[in-house]
Structure 1
Amino acid sequence: MNTADNRYDIDTDSVMFAGGEPFDVSAIGAAQTPWWNRTLCEVNNAWVRLGVMEGDFHWHKHDDTDEFFLVMEGHLDIELENQMISLTPGQAFTVPKGIMHCPHARARSVVLMIEQAGVVPTGN
């Protein structure tokens, strides 16, 4: 996938694990460097993605789909136009469709995301 920012290592062309295949999310995250982002598996037309982040992403939105974030490691702030959501391990937040947001990983962070299959992670 081509992105506007060359530091992003985002792949949406493949799913890493098929249904019925076990995998270790923590080990996968530990083996990656920022800004790695992959689809771990697909569940009922939704992608379960893992992102390893550090620093600021960019302002973007998803016009037709919500985006769920679950912090597994680190600290993720999700800046919205009118508020800042601050998440630590075990905490989660769903950005509603059409809402501009900008994720900020305050240190190396590993984040599980769930979004509609086919979504462009960098936004519309």
Structure 2
Amino acid sequence: MNNAYDIDTDTILHPVGTDFDITAIGAAQNPWWNRTLCAVNDAWVRLGVLDGDFHWHKHDDTDEFFMVMEGQLDIELEDRMVTLQPGQAFTVPRGVMHFPHARGRTVVLMIERAGVAPTGD
């Protein structure tokens, strides 16, 4: 795993009932930044700024939603490659091995169950 990952799962940046600018937050970060923007019921809305390869991993008990805001994200699965451009999204089903590849600087909105380890189980 890449030691340069800057992932924080202990802090929710914006409490319910506050507004925030996702584009501005993403623009102010360097890769590999990943934070929880807010909580919605039992889910976290996270923002990741990526560049390059993450690693093969899976989440045994939760699906993982990706929506590209900027750049290109390829999500390699064991049987295919899913390519996402800005405005496009994909949900990786729970238990499925996947390997995200950011093709240059990429900003991704993710939704996943609260408490999930972003690096996989």
TM-score, normalized by length of structure 2?
Answer: 0.99
Work out which of the residue numbers 75, 79, 82 in structure 1 matches 2:79.
Answer: 82
2:68 maps to a residue whose letter is V
Work out which of the residue numbers 100, 103, 111 in structure 1 matches 2:100.
Answer: 103
2:90 maps to a residue whose letter is F
Q: Aligned to 2:23, what secondary structure does the other structure show?
A: helix
User: Which residue pairs with 1:29 in the alignment?
Assistant: 26
Of all paired residues, the percent bearing the same amino acid is 73
User: Which residue pairs with 2:90 in the alignment?
Assistant: 93
1:107 maps to a residue whose letter is G
Unmatched runs of 5 consecutive residues or more in structure 1? none
What is the Cα deviation at residue 5 of structure 1? 2.6
Map 1:48-67 onto structure 2 (within 5 A). Answer: 48-67=45-64
Q: Any idea what the Cα deviations from partners look like across 1:16-53, whole Å, max 9, x if unmatched?
A: 00001000000000000000000000001100000000
User: Which residue pairs with 2:119 in the alignment?
Assistant: 122
What is the Cα deviation at residue 99 of structure 1? 0.1
1:119 maps to a residue whose letter is V
- Give the Cα separation in 2 of the matches to 1:5 and 1:58: 8
> Does 4-13 or 45-54 show the bigger shift?
4-13
- Give the Cα separation in 2 of the matches to 1:23 and 1:10: 20
Q: Any idea what the Cα deviations from partners look like across 1:50-94, whole Å, max 9, x if unmatched?
A: 000000000000000000000000000000000000000000000
2:26 maps to a residue whose letter is G
Unmatched runs of 5 consecutive residues or more in structure 2? none
- Give the Cα separation in 2 of the matches to 1:107 and 1:54: 5
Work out which of the residue numbers 57, 68, 81 in structure 2 matches 1:71.
Answer: 68
> Does 4-13 or 31-40 show the bigger shift?
4-13
What is the Cα deviation at residue 104 of structure 1? 0.1
